[in-house]
A and B are shown apart, each in its own frame.
Chain A
Amino acid sequence: MNKILLIIKREYLTRVMKKSFLMVTFLVPVLFIGMMSLVVYLAVNQGGLGDVKKVQVVDESGWFANKLQSSKTIQYSFATDYAATKKTFVKNGYDYLLYVPATMNKIQLFGESTPSVINSGKIEDELTRVARSRRLSEAHIDSAVLANAQTALTVEPKQIGENGETDANVMAKYGIGLFCAFLIYISLFLYGAQVMRGVIEEKVSRIIEVMISSVKPFQLMLGKIIGVGMVGLTQFVLWIVLTAVLSTAAGSAVGSKMAAMQQVQTAQQVPGVKTAMTANADKMEPNKVAAVIHSFESLPIAQIVLCFLFYFTFGYLLYSALFAAVGSAVDNETETQQFMLPVTMPLIFTIILSQSVIVNNPDSALSVWLSMIPFTSPIAMMIRIPFGVPPLQIAASMVLMVLGFLFTTWVAARIYRVGILMYGKKASYKELAKWFMYKE
């Protein structure tokens, strides 16, 4: 037991003290925050990163002249002579020429390059808006009445359980489930591969024979697995703490900036021109945000966290034992390919299914089975948990998970103890089976 602790300590310290560990630990939150900030920035500026397209409009119908509103990405200006403009608009620095014939039945958009779908869509929307409001006013419909008539109804999903009704925001469940599943998926690969590389390193550097004249192969394998697992947990904790700290800092900075931007925007708008639509949007936003936050609060957070820790731990133990066995069977990393595929197959299979079948149908027979089989349950169950899983199923899945872990580790250890002493022989599956059968 004491020896396992020594091995864990070494495996842990040598990895944590590495420069690359510190780099990854500090860079990931920075990158994460950076990415989030970029998303927020793009959302706020509504794709404002692209350049502004200048559109020359020749309107022969008389419907649109001076009525099309320029936006951040598209600026309209108006001309009258179609033939002349068509020749000169590129030279004059315009990107597109929008031609509306008198009959309006064949509106055309010319450009030196093909206008993008997004841009032509935006122009279409703007044309439609102007045309519609003209038609409506021709029909003598008051714009106030119109604003009232544009009602958007939403359905609020509720789940009835023992504790009465709870909000059941499906999007939040989608999000949290997929997030946890991906996190487990990535970390199983990441840390499993580290265990495998550690085993190969011991084999290649030939220290293995010295080691196992002092400790049992199983102790060495377990010590390595636990040591690397603790490195993973350390990294997660640091990521969470750093992300929290950084995002709080970034959040306050962005928040004040956004407030400032809003002020500028309101100041820029001519009083009274503020349309009903923007007013509406302003009113809607805080409600939506509150609703999302509220729906997250309604999720079984404690259950999700506990299950995450359980499935992360046992999923990692199960898979890293397999990775260790793979590492013991080969002489160098390039040879691992043939054994990696069957080991990683269930993981890849589940993560692909999880995004379609499981998340859309968390109670289907397939989903239930996948969340029972130890090789797939860490991912499948994490997707299902936010939607509510009967306690009996969770218990069964956890028991199977532990049994699966014990069985896999037993099998892996039997291959490992022989594999680590084998050199030069290219191991086949038949060979592995033979190793497994050896008595001692």
Chain B
Amino acid sequence: MISIRNIVKEYAGHRALSGVSMEIEKGKVFGLLGPNGAGKTSLIRIINQITAPDLGEVLFNGEKLNQHHIAQIGYLPEERGLYKKMEIGEQIVYLAQLKGLSQAEAKLRARKWFKKLEIESWWKKKIEELSKGMQQKAQFVATVIHEPELIILDEPFTGFDPVNAEIIKNEILELNRNGATIIFSTHRMESVEELCDSIALLNLSHKILDGKVKEIRNQFRTGTYIIEYEGQGVQVGSDAPFTALSETIADDHTQLTLRIKEGRKVNDLLHYMLPLSNISKFEEVIPTMNEIFIQAVSKQK
């Protein structure tokens, strides 16, 4: 869908992107992650053709990015905004027309969306009269009304209460099921695990990590497990196939966090523990995206 090849972008005196490449697959949800100032917005602006890269190129379905692609992209910027003095319905229709819809078509679709999001009665209201959540909903409609192939969402959930955030999340997933590719820029990691198929992590203008979410999490596995057993006081000898990291004792059971020694297997661990204790729970500790994020970013420093 989108191939980003060796993008370099420099602003007066500082580098926003240095040689960033990535592939965004059609029909997937792609997470663009990174701390503030990593270059996410710069990259998004390049995909939106708001700015052009100094070096490198972006391909849209194998074709070099050009003005015709504008109608196929929907963009929800992090800094939301609409014309304050304009009626909301009129405004959505206007923005849809700028994306190439006819007036009649734009009106029809806007009505449909307003109904779906239960904001029909606000059609004639001016933006300044609406609550922040309402404005965000309207802006979301403006982003997707022209049924773009690619939807770019920069922190889409900020400003929504949990109920409305859930509604918007479901709308995003539905759009994705209907074939839209989604680029999702955020630093809220829990939503990444929930939504994204693959991610790229930017830090200090460099891409430091990318791939499928599952694979990345596997990459970051450290062989750490949690074992919970009844009672307490299992003495772990030096011959054990693991090293204990920490132990918490609560009432009648103990939780042991441990790391398997190199070359040993999970089965070895269980063999060792079974005769000594009555195991009630056993699981692998796979690092969360949040931990991976912090780890990757701090490693680069």
Are both chains from one complex? yes
| Other-chain contact of A440, B51, B86, B142 (Cβ < 8 Å) | B51
Q: How many A-B residue pairs have CB under 8 A?
A: 58
Within 8 A of A (CB), among B184-210: none
In the complex, what residues of B have CB within 8 A of residue A241's CB?
Answer: none
| Other-chain contact of A215, B12, B86, B98 (Cβ < 8 Å) | B98
Query: Which residue from chain B places its CB closest to the CB of A422 in the assembled complex?
Result: B11
In the complex, what residues of B have CB within 8 A of residue A210's CB?
Answer: 75, 77, 81-82, 95, 139, 142
In the complex, what residues of A have CB within 8 A of residue B82's CB?
Answer: 205, 207, 210
Q: Once the chains bind, are A14 and B77 in contact (CB under 8 Å)?
A: no
B54 on interface, CB distance cutoff 8 Å:
yes
A421 to B50, CA, bound (A): 9
Q: Once the chains bind, are A206 and B94 in contact (CB under 8 Å)?
A: no
- With A3-B98, A213-B75 known as contacts, the answer to whether A206 contacts B80 (CB < 8 A) is yes
Q: Once the chains bind, are B99 and A214 in contact (CB under 8 Å)?
A: yes
In the complex, what residues of A have CB within 8 A of residue B81's CB?
Answer: 205-210
A434 to B10, CA, bound (A): 13
A10 on interface, CB distance cutoff 8 Å:
yes
A212 to B48, CA, bound (A): 9
**Closest beta carbon of chain B to A246's beta carbon, Å:** 31
Within 8 A of A (CB), among B56-93: 70, 73, 75, 77, 79-86
In the complex, what residues of A have CB within 8 A of residue B12's CB?
Answer: 434
A109 to B255, CA, bound (A): 115
A205 to B85, CA, bound (A): 10
A183 to B130, CA, bound (A): 41
Query: Which residue from chain A places its CB closest to the CB of B99 in the assembled complex?
Result: A214
Q: Once the chains bind, are A214 and B98 in contact (CB under 8 Å)?
A: yes
Query: Which residue from chain B places its CB closest to the CB of A10 in the assembled complex?
Result: B94
In the complex, what residues of B have CB within 8 A of residue A3's CB?
Answer: 98
- With A207-B81, A210-B142 known as contacts, the answer to whether A439 contacts B54 (CB < 8 A) is yes
B97 on interface, CB distance cutoff 8 Å:
yes
Query: Which residue from chain A places its CB closest to the CB of B83 in the assembled complex?
Result: A207
A403 on interface, CB distance cutoff 8 Å:
no
In the complex, what residues of A have CB within 8 A of residue B84's CB?
Answer: 201, 205
Please, how many residues of chain A have a CB less than 8 angstroms from a CB on the other chain? 22
Query: Which residue from chain A places its CB closest to the CB of B50 in the assembled complex?
Result: A212
| Other-chain contact of B86, A7, A14, A208 (Cβ < 8 Å) | A14
Q: Once the chains bind, are B54 and A209 in contact (CB under 8 Å)?
A: no
B175 on interface, CB distance cutoff 8 Å:
no
B22 on interface, CB distance cutoff 8 Å:
no
**Closest beta carbon of chain B to A195's beta carbon, Å:** 15
In the complex, what residues of A have CB within 8 A of residue B240's CB?
Answer: none
Q: Once the chains bind, are A206 and B98 in contact (CB under 8 Å)?
A: no
A208 to B98, CA, bound (A): 13
In the complex, what residues of A have CB within 8 A of residue B75's CB?
Answer: 209-210, 213
**Closest beta carbon of chain A to B39's beta carbon, Å:** 15
Q: Interface centre among A6, A10, A209, by most B CB within 10 Å?
A: A209
Q: Once the chains bind, are A6 and B97 in contact (CB under 8 Å)?
A: yes
Q: Once the chains bind, are A209 and B50 in contact (CB under 8 Å)?
A: yes
B226 on interface, CB distance cutoff 8 Å:
no
In the complex, what residues of B have CB within 8 A of residue A7's CB?
Answer: 98
- With A210-B75, A213-B70, A434-B12 known as contacts, the answer to whether A440 contacts B52 (CB < 8 A) is yes
Query: Which residue from chain A places its CB closest to the CB of B152 in the assembled complex?
Result: A213
A6 to B84, CA, bound (A): 18
A212 to B12, CA, bound (A): 21
Query: Which residue from chain A places its CB closest to the CB of B52 in the assembled complex?
Result: A440
Query: Which residue from chain B places its CB closest to the CB of A6 in the assembled complex?
Result: B97
Query: Which residue from chain A places its CB closest to the CB of B51 in the assembled complex?
Result: A440
In the complex, what residues of A have CB within 8 A of residue B83's CB?
Answer: 14, 201-202, 205, 207
Q: Once the chains bind, are A206 and B79 in contact (CB under 8 Å)?
A: yes
- Which A residues fall within an 8 A CB radius of B? 3, 6-7, 10, 14, 201-202, 205-215, 421, 434, 439-440
- Which B residues fall within an 8 A CB radius of A? 12, 45, 48-52, 54, 70, 73, 75, 77, 79-86, 94-95, 97-99, 139, 142
14 A-B pairs whose Cβ atoms sit less than 8 Å apart in the complex: A3-B98, A201-B83, A201-B84, A206-B77, A207-B82, A209-B77, A210-B75, A210-B82, A213-B48, A213-B49, A213-B50, A214-B70, A214-B99, A421-B45
- Which 3 A-B residue pairings sit nearest by Cβ, starting from the closest? A206-B81, A440-B52, A214-B98
Q: List 10 extra interface pairs beyond A3-B98, A14-B85, A205-B83, CB under 8 A.
A: A10-B94, A202-B83, A205-B81, A205-B82, A205-B84, A207-B82, A210-B77, A210-B139, A214-B99, A421-B45
